[in-house]
Amino acid sequence: MIAAYFLSYRILPRLMTPQKHNWVWAELFLGTYIISLAARITMIYGIEPITRTPLIPQESIQEILTDLPTLFVVYSLHILSLSVFFIFIKLIKDQHIIQKRALELEKQKAETELKILKAQLNPHFLFNTLNNIYSLSIINSPITSKSIAVLSEILDCILYRCNSTCVPVSQEITLIENYISLEKLRYDERLSVIFNHEIDQNGLIAPLILLSLVENAFKHGAGEDVGIAPKIEIDLKLVNDNFEFKIRNTINKEFEAESGKIGLNNIIQQLDKIYPEHYTFNVTKTDDDFTAELKINLAPKYNLA
């Protein structure tokens, strides 16, 4: 036991450092000698008198101190060979602790990055929505108070119900409906929005990703309106844990896809962290419309929450 602890906690940690090891080897040699000497003296003067009958002639302490071949060839090799098993078990335990700690750090890192991505999303959404309400307040529109009430419901959802990694799909549907109603108050009859949704069960999904896609469609579909009648079509379906979300918005000829690149990159980063290898996300742009299609397999259990 002394040899095992001496090697595991005194010698090996120092040998694994990049510094010079001359003193470590010297200490290993001296420590091995002292441990072997103690084992030899214990054997001759402690164990043999009890276990051997008749008692054989005993070596003197001086003879034991100078009998280096016996100490290093017989005792040290025997003691070190038994210590190797203990060291092997300790290395396996240490490796397990290191891997567990690395997984915890990776999980904390992923959670922190997701919080940062959500923090980037919320101010962006609030900035655009408050601009909309501000434009209504300038003209003293009677629907300003209603807009504020709808925005209050949206903020309640974002601030208090979207703190976990996953939320019910039904909650996201309600959030989208509130957002659409808020935008409709601004655009009146100029804007055509079709929102179809079908779910066979109330599954769980990462929050705010769908809202980001909807907000992006309004920004570049209705927000880019220069006289044409903007149109947005949304289809949401959840059947047997297979989630599909497709949104298409009309655009004008001067629309540039790069203007929505930051929001789309934000969405992709969140999907990569929460649904790695379990989702597909495609965007298609033509001269007249822009389409984003998201498919997620919600069957696997994701444990970032």
DSSP 102-153: HHHHHHHHHHHHHHHHHHHHHHHHHHHHHHHHHHHHHTT-TTHHHHHHHHHH
Model confidence at 109: pLDDT above 50: yes
User: Tell me: the pLDDT tens digits for 239-292?
Assistant: 998 999 999 998 765 545 444 555 677 788 878 888 888 999 999 988 888 899
Is the Cβ–Cβ distance between 291 and 246 less than 8 Å? yes
Of 128 and 98, which is predicted with more confidence? Answer: 98
Q: Which of 60, 93, 117 is the C-terminal boundary of a domain?
A: 117
What is the pTM (predicted TM-score) of this model? 0.58
The pLDDT of residue 238 is: 94
> Do both 177 and 282 map to the same domain?
yes
Please give the structure tokens belonging to residue 18: 């990049």
Distances (CA, A) of 212 to 79, 123, 270: 66, 12, 11
User: Tell me: the pLDDT tens digits for 192-232?
Assistant: 899 999 998 888 998 888 988 888 888 776 665 545 678 89
The pLDDT of residue 303 is: 44
> Do both 72 and 205 map to the same domain?
no
Give residue 197's domain range.
120-297
Model confidence at 304: pLDDT above 50: no
Model confidence at 68: pLDDT above 70: yes
Is the Cβ–Cβ distance between 228 and 250 less than 8 Å? yes
Percent of the chain past pLDDT 90, that is, above it, reads 15
User: Tell me: the pLDDT tens digits for 132-148?
Assistant: 788 878 888 888 888 88
The pLDDT of residue 305 is: 42
Is the Cβ–Cβ distance between 162 and 207 less than 8 Å? yes
The pLDDT of residue 125 is: 60
> Do both 125 and 183 map to the same domain?
yes
Specify the amino acid at residue 119.
A
305 part of a folded domain: no
> Do both 246 and 181 map to the same domain?
yes
> Do both 8 and 146 map to the same domain?
no
Q: Which of 117, 152, 175 is the C-terminal boundary of a domain?
A: 117
Q: Which of 92, 117, 142 is the C-terminal boundary of a domain?
A: 117
